[in-house]
């Protein structure tokens, strides 16, 4: 019986690979791939958060904040302050995500860290946009009246993960 060129290539030892034959390497990689598929399949049951979903459709996974997945509940407050320019390099908001009630005023207060920052609602027609400022103590505020999720960012540092969320819960 004649061997095909594929069989000769698969079964012949490869040169320069520490004597490991190509078929063995393929089997190893195939096994790793199958294990990864089985492992991921077990993590994506219906209703569970996935890497793409998570809180707020995963937007906070890109946020540059140590505790970006936790949400601060401030539904009992008439006003909330969010620090602008926190973290090691000053490229984060604190808290990164906050829940409020309709009528709550959110005040962003600059820390002076990380250079110039602004706060821009992530929408085609932004509901709020602050000036680009660097000095500590500068504030910008917006009163949220309608329930919904409002994602915002700092335009110069968005690529660094300076992203936040205000969720206005219906009463």
Q: What is the pLDDT along the chain (171 residues), one digit of tens a residue?
A: 554 444 444 444 444 444 444 445 444 444 444 333 333 333 333 333 333 455 687 777 777 765 656 789 999 999 999 999 999 999 999 999 999 999 999 999 999 999 999 999 998 889 999 999 999 999 999 999 999 999 999 999 999 999 999 999 997
Q: Is the dihedral of CA 52, 57, 63, 65 positive or negative?
A: negative
Asked if the structure places residue 68 within a domain, the reply is yes
The count of domains in the chain is 2
Catalytic residue among 1, 20, 142, 154: 154
> Is residue 32 located within the same domain as residue 71?
no
> Is residue 90 located within the same domain as residue 21?
no
> Is residue 69 located within the same domain as residue 136?
yes
> Is residue 72 located within the same domain as residue 129?
yes
Q: What tokens were used for 105?
A: 């005023």
pLDDT value of position 81: 98
Q: Is the dihedral of CA 106, 58, 62, 70 positive or negative?
A: positive
Catalytic residue among 1, 20, 117, 142: 117
List the CATH number of the domain containing 139. Answer: 2.60.40.420
> Is residue 82 located within the same domain as residue 126?
yes
């Amino acid at each position: 019986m004649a061997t095909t060129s594929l069989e000769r290539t698969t079964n012949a030892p490869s040169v320069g690979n520490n004597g490991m034959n190509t078929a063995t390497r393929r089997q190893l990689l195939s096994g790793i791939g199958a294990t990864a598929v089985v492992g991921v399949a077990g993590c994506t049951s219906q209703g569970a958060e996935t890497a793409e979903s998570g809180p707020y459709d995963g937007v906070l996974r890109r946020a540059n904040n140590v505790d970006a997945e936790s949400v601060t509940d401030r539904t009992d407050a008439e006003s909330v302050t969010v620090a602008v320019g926190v973290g090691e390099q000053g490229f984060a908001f604190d808290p990164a995500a906050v829940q409020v009630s309709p009528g709550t005023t959110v005040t962003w207060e600059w820390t002076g860290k990380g250079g110039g920052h602004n706060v821009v609602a992530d929408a085609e027609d932004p509901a709020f946009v602050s000036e680009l400022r660097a000095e500590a103590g500068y504030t910008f505020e917006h009163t949220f009246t309608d329930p919904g999720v409002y994602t915002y960012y700092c335009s110069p540092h968005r690529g660094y993960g300076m992203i936040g969320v205000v969720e206005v819960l219906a009463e």
